[in-house]
Structure 1
Amino acid sequence: MKPPAASVEPPAAAAELPAPSAELPASSARWYRKAFADLSPLRDNVDYRRVWFGQAVSSIGQQMTAVAVSVQVYDMTGSSFATGLVGLFSLFPLVAFGLYGGAIADTVDRRKLGLIGSAGLAAVSAVLAAQAFAGLGLVAVLYAAVAVQAGFFALSSPARSAMIPRLVPSHQLPAANALNTVSMNLGLTVGPMLGGVLIGAWGTQAAYLVDTVAFAATLYAMWRLPAMRPLGDRRGRASVLDGLRFLREQPNLRTSFLADLAAMIFGMPRALFPAIAVTFYAGDARTVGLLVAAPAVGALAGALFSGWVGRVNRQGVAVLAAVAAWGLAIAAFGLIHNLWLGLLLLAVAGCADTVSMIFRNTMMQVAAPDEMRGRLQGIFIVVVAGGPRLGDFESGTVASLTNPATSVISGGLACVAAIALLAARRPAFLRYDARHPTP
C-alpha cells in the first residue's frame, strides 16, 4: 500500500531512558549499555528498522560492486593508475551533487529524493551487470557508470541521513547514529568478502547482479515511508553557499573536516589492493576482498564496543590522535608483507577511523543548528565519500611512479605529518572540550 501523503513530524522525546533489562542485574545492564550498541531504535521504530535493514543490504551490494569494478579495471589494463582513475571519475559527481544534495534535502520531500536515488543506483548496477555479461571490455563504460553512480549517491545520501531525526525520538538519536555506523561497516565487511568469493567463482557479473537485486530492500523501505517534506518555512530557502559560509566561520568543525581529508587522501591505499594482493601476497580476487574488508572489520569492532567514547571530553585531541593512529597503521601495513599481520594492521586502522568519525559526528551535531544540518551533511558526504576517491588517485599515481609499497608507506607517513601540522596550527582544536563546546 502506498504510504500516506501527510508529512511526518519529529517523534516526541521520551521523558527518560528505558529501564535496565529485568533479566539482568542493574549493574550488569549498565555495563552492557556502556559496552555495546543500543538496539532500542530498531526494536521500537518499524520505519527506522526497514530503512536500517535496507541500507545494510544495499551497502553490502554496493561494496561488492566496488570490488568488482576495481578488479575488472585492473584485469583489463594491468595498471594501478587506471584503477586509481575509478576514484577520480566518481570524485567530480560526488563534489558537485553532494553539495547540492544537502540543500535539496532541506527543500523537498526527503522520502521521494531517497527513493529516486536508490532507484538510480539500482539501475547503474544493472548496467554494470549487463556490460559484464556482454563482455564489452570497455574501461570507458566502467568509468561512466561509476560517475553516474556517484551522482545518485551524492543526491540521495544527505536526505537519507536527514530522515533519522524524523523516524526516532530524540533520546534515541545517539543510538540510531551508532547503529548506522554498524550498518555501514557491516556492508564494508561482508560486501568485499562476499564480492571476492563471487568474483572468484563466477566473475564480476555475479557481483553486479547480486547488487542490483539487493536494492529491492532499500526501495521497499523508502516506498513504505510517509512523506517527509520540509518543516516550517524552510521550503525553497536552503542555500549551498550558506552552508559553506557557516562551516568557514566554525574553526573547530573546519579542522575536523581537514583531519578526515588528511586520512582519506594520504592514508587510503584502496586502489592498490588488487596490485598488493598479487605483489605482496601472490593472491587473487579473494585476497582483494579480504584486504578491502579488513578496515571495515576493525571499524565494526570499534562501533560495537564504543561505549567508552561518551566519557571522553577532549574530543579534538581524540580526533587527531585517532587519525594519527590510522596513518601509522597504514604505514606499517606497507612495511609488513605478511597477509595476516597486514589484515590486522588494516583492522587497527579501521577501528581508529571509527573512533575519529564518532567524535567528528558528535562535534558536528552539537555545533550545527537544525536548519544547517542537511547542507553540512552534504559537505560531510563530499569529504567522507570524495576524500577516498582523491586517495585512490594519489596512491595510484605514486605507485605508478614508484611501487605499491612506497605508495602505501609514504601515504601513511604523510597523513601523520598532516595531523602534526593541524595540531600546530590549530591549538584551539586541541582544547576543544565537550562540556563547553565551541564550534
Structure 2
Amino acid sequence: MTSKLSRVLPDLSPWRSSPDFRLLWVQGLITYFGSFMALVALPLQIKDLTGSPLAVGAMGAVELVPLVVFGLYGGALADAVDRRKVILLTEAGLGLLAVILLVNALLPEPVLWPLYVVAAGVSALAGLQRPALDSLLARIVPHDQLPAAAALNALRWQVGAIAGPALAGLVVAYAGNAPAYATTVVCFAVSVAMCLRLSPAPPAKDADKPSLRGIAEGARYAWSRPVLLGTYAVDLAAMFFAFPNAIFPFLADELDAEWSLGLMYAAGSVGSVLLSLTSGWVSRVRRHGLLVVCGAAGWGLAIAAAGWFSNVWVVLVCLGLAGAGDMLSGLGRSTIWNQTIPEELRGRLAGIEVLSYSVGPQLGQVRAGAMAGWTGTRPAVWSGGLACLVSVGLLAAALPKLLTYDAQTDEDAVRRRAAHEARTAEAQPGAGALPEADARPAGVAPADREPAG
C-alpha cells in the first residue's frame, strides 16, 4: 500500500537533499500568499474606482513594457552578479510598493494613477527577480530530481494561490482594500528577513557583464532549439487567448454571484494543487513535450466551458479543470528548460522564459478587457478558450520536435546530464555523485513563478 502511494504522492527528494531548497520553499510560500492578496485587491479597486472592464484590462498594458525590458535585462544580470543580492533587493522593493498601495487605500479618496504606477513597478521588479530565482533550480537540485522539484515548487505556489485569493475576496468584501494590502506588506517584511539568511550565490569567474550582446546570445540559442521555442510559443498563445482573470469581477456580477470572486481566482489553483498532490508519476515521464501540449489544450477547453455555462458552480469547476491543465503544461515546460539549458546561459534563458510566461497573461488581460467591452463578459471568455485550443493545435503541428521530445535521448538533455555528473565528480573526487547543492560552497534555492507582488 505504501509503495502504491509513493508512486502517486509528491516526490520529496529535493526537499531532503537541499537545505537551500527547503528555505526558499517556505519563503516563497509566504511571498505568494501576500502577493495573491494584492493580486485580487488591485483589479477590484480599479473596478470600484472606474466601473470599466477596459480600465481593469489596461493594467496588463501598463505592466507589459517594464516586464519585457527588465525581464530580458534581469536574465543577463542573473548570469553576471550574485543572485542572492538580486533576490534580496527586488524583494525589498516589492515590499515598498505594497506600502504605497496601503497608504493610497487609507486615503479618504484613493487615487487611481498610483495603482497603475505600482503595477508597472511590480512588473519591472518581478522581471529582474524571476531569472535569478529560476536559474538556480538546476544548480542546487540533482538532474534526476528536477521534475520532482518543479512539482514541489508548483505545490507551494498553489497553496498560496488558493489561500491568498480566497481570503482576499472575503477581506476586501467585508473590510476593504487596506487590510489586504497590509497583509501583503507584512508578508514581504517576513520574506526579506528570510532572504537575509541566504548564502551568497556568486556568478562564474569568467561571467560577462550584462549587455545587449549577451541577451542576443541567449535569444539565438533559444531560437535554434525547436523544443524550447515550442514551449515558449505554446504558453504565450495559451495565455494570450485564454487568460480572463482581469474580468472575473465582471463575470461574478453577470452571474449574480459577487460572493464568488475570490473563489474564481482560487479555483484554478485548486485544480493545480490537486494535480500537484498526485504528481509522483511525473518523475517517471520522459515525453515532457506531450505534457506541455496536452496541458495547454486542456486549459483552453476548460476556459471555453467556463465562459459558456451560466451556473456559477459549474463555472468554478471548469476553472479548476483549467488550472489542472495549466499545471500539467507548466511541469512539462519547467522540466524541459532545466534538463536542456546549459548553466552559462541559464539566467538569460530564464529572462526569455519570463517573457513567454508573463507577457502572455499581460496581453491576455488587455484582450479580455477589450473583448468584454465589445461583446460582453462571457463571450470574451469562451471565444478566448476556443482560440487557445486552435492555436495550440497549430503550434504542435508546426513544431513536431516538441511532441517527440524524450528526456533520455534528446541531445541537449543528455549533454546537460553529463555536464552535471562531471561537475559533481570534480567537486567531490572519489565520493560518488552528490547533489549539486552539496558540490558548491553555498547557494540559494529557487522560488517558483507566479506573482512577485
TM-score when normalising by structure 1? 0.89
By how many angstroms is 1:172 displaced? 4.5
Match of 1:50 among 11, 14, 23: 23
SS at match of 1:35: coil
- CA gap of 1:431–1:160, structure 2 versus 1, over 3 A, is closer
- CA gap of 1:421–1:438, structure 2 versus 1, over 3 A, is farther
Match of 1:279 among 246, 254, 266: 254
Q: Distance between the aligned counterparts of 1:333 and 1:303, measured in 2?
A: 22
Could you tell me which residue of structure 1 aligns to residue 224 of structure 2? 249
* 2:98 corresponds to 1:131: no
- CA gap of 1:132–1:170, structure 2 versus 1, over 3 A, is same
Alignment of 1:158-169 (within 5 A): 158-168=131-141
By how many angstroms is 1:162 displaced? 2.6
SS at match of 1:435: coil
Could you tell me which residue of structure 2 aligns to residue 73 of structure 1? 46
SS at match of 2:81: coil
- CA gap of 1:237–1:63, structure 2 versus 1, over 3 A, is closer
Q: Is the 8 A contact 1:47 1:221 kept in 2?
A: no
Q: Is the 8 A contact 1:432 1:438 kept in 2?
A: no
Q: Is the 8 A contact 1:51 1:218 kept in 2?
A: no
By how many angstroms is 1:37 displaced? 1.6
Q: Which has the higher contact order (CA 8 A, sep 6+)?
A: 2
Percent of pairs with identical residues:
38
Could you tell me which residue of structure 1 aligns to residue 127 of structure 2? 154
- Any idea what the Cα deviations from partners look like across 1:226-283, whole Å, max 9, x if unmatched? 2111124225267111111111111111011111111101011101100001002x12
Structure 1 runs not aligned, ≥5 long = 1-27
By how many angstroms is 1:29 displaced? 4.3
Q: Distance between the aligned counterparts of 1:328 and 1:183, measured in 2?
A: 26
Specify the code of the residue in structure 1 equivalent to 2:240. Answer: I
* 2:381 corresponds to 1:408: yes
Could you tell me which residue of structure 1 aligns to residue 89 of structure 2? 116
User: RMSD of the TM alignment (CA)?
Assistant: 1.8
- CA gap of 1:436–1:196, structure 2 versus 1, over 3 A, is same
Q: Distance between the aligned counterparts of 1:135 and 1:151, measured in 2?
A: 29
Structure 2 runs not aligned, ≥5 long = 413-453
- CA gap of 1:169–1:430, structure 2 versus 1, over 3 A, is closer
Q: Is the 8 A contact 2:53 2:247 kept in 1?
A: yes
Could you tell me which residue of structure 1 aligns to residue 336 of structure 2? 363
- Any idea what the Cα deviations from partners look like across 1:383-429, whole Å, max 9, x if unmatched? 21221111100011111111011101110000011012112322333
* 2:201 corresponds to 1:228: yes
- CA gap of 1:408–1:263, structure 2 versus 1, over 3 A, is same
Could you tell me which residue of structure 2 aligns to residue 31 of structure 1? 4
Could you tell me which residue of structure 1 aligns to residue 238 of structure 2? 263
Q: Distance between the aligned counterparts of 1:339 and 1:223, measured in 2?
A: 44
Q: Distance between the aligned counterparts of 1:341 and 1:433, measured in 2?
A: 37
Q: Which moved more, 1:190-199 or 1:215-224?
A: 215-224
Alignment of 1:329-348 (within 5 A): 329-348=302-321
* 2:348 corresponds to 1:375: yes
Match of 1:328 among 274, 277, 301: 301
- CA gap of 1:246–1:168, structure 2 versus 1, over 3 A, is closer
By how many angstroms is 1:169 displaced? 5.3
- CA gap of 1:43–1:362, structure 2 versus 1, over 3 A, is closer
SS at match of 2:200: coil
Could you tell me which residue of structure 2 aligns to residue 385 of structure 1? 358
Q: Is the 8 A contact 1:108 1:235 kept in 2?
A: no
Q: Distance between the aligned counterparts of 1:108 and 1:330, measured in 2?
A: 41
Q: Distance between the aligned counterparts of 2:243 and 2:411, measured in 1?
A: 30
Q: Distance between the aligned counterparts of 2:330 and 2:51, measured in 1?
A: 34
Match of 1:180 among 149, 153, 157: 153
- CA gap of 1:33–1:217, structure 2 versus 1, over 3 A, is farther
Q: Which moved more, 1:234-243 or 1:144-153?
A: 234-243
Could you tell me which residue of structure 2 aligns to residue 205 of structure 1? 178
By how many angstroms is 1:43 displaced? 4.5
- Any idea what the Cα deviations from partners look like across 1:158-217, whole Å, max 9, x if unmatched? 112233445555554443332211111112111101111111121011100100000123
Q: Is the 8 A contact 2:29 2:160 kept in 1?
A: yes
Could you tell me which residue of structure 1 aligns to residue 438 of structure 2? none
Q: Distance between the aligned counterparts of 1:432 and 1:163, measured in 2?
A: 23
By how many angstroms is 1:40 displaced? 4.2
Q: Is the 8 A contact 2:77 2:210 kept in 1?
A: no
By how many angstroms is 1:430 displaced? 2.7
Q: How many equivalent residue pairs? A: 410
By how many angstroms is 1:87 displaced? 1.4
Q: Distance between the aligned counterparts of 1:220 and 1:165, measured in 2?
A: 25
Match of 1:395 among 350, 368, 380: 368
Q: Distance between the aligned counterparts of 1:64 and 1:88, measured in 2?
A: 21
Q: Distance between the aligned counterparts of 1:220 and 1:89, measured in 2?
A: 30
Specify the code of the residue in structure 2 equivalent to 1:72. Answer: Q
